[in-house]
Amino acid sequence: MTVKPEDAAGILRDNFAPWVLDLGLVVEEVGDGTAVLRLPWSERLAREGGAVSGQALMAAADTAVVIAVAGAKGGFVPMTTVQLNTSFMRPVMGTDVLVTVTLGKLGRTLAFADIVMATDAAPVARASAVYAIIG
């Protein structure tokens, strides 16, 4: 089964905590082991000084990995984060962030992902994640 963006929006709605949904993530693309989500700019996500908080960016990256795995598996499967390593390169102020995930390896019990978070101007953060596939 191919996971379409509208299917992925349902995965978000049905499987994530309300505070994650409050990020306002929009699924732009889903492929076989890839996903692109948009984190819309919101002052609610900004910290003092007006930059998007690192916590919001990390939550967006973490969530996008679930959608990429769902795209590769043909639908949602239970999974949990084992590791998320994030490096922040520049602040994000007043603009949306595209969160692009590429799965490096998807095994029976583990998924390894690379994540790039970028604005139109440039990358703002990079992350790597490892997920345990539970189901």
Q: What is the CATH number of the domain that holds 69?
A: 3.10.129.10
Measured from the Cβ of residue 64, the count of other Cβ atoms closer than 10 Å reads: 29
Q: Average the pLDDT over 117-135 and give the result.
A: 94
CA–CA distances in Å: residue 115 to residues 18, 95, 101? 23, 18, 5
What are the pLDDT digits (tens) for 54-70? 999 999 999 999 999 99
Which structural domain, as residue segments, surrounds residue 25? 5-133
- Could you give the number of structural domains in the chain? 1
Using alpha carbons, select from 72, 57, 125 the residue that is nearest to residue 103. Answer: 72
Q: Average the pLDDT over 38-62 and give the result.
A: 95
Q: What is the dihedral of CA 87, 89, 90, 96, to 10 degrees?
A: -60
Token readout for 131 is 């997920």
Tell me the pTM.
Answer: 0.95
Q: What is the dihedral of CA 52, 57, 63, 67, to 10 degrees?
A: 100
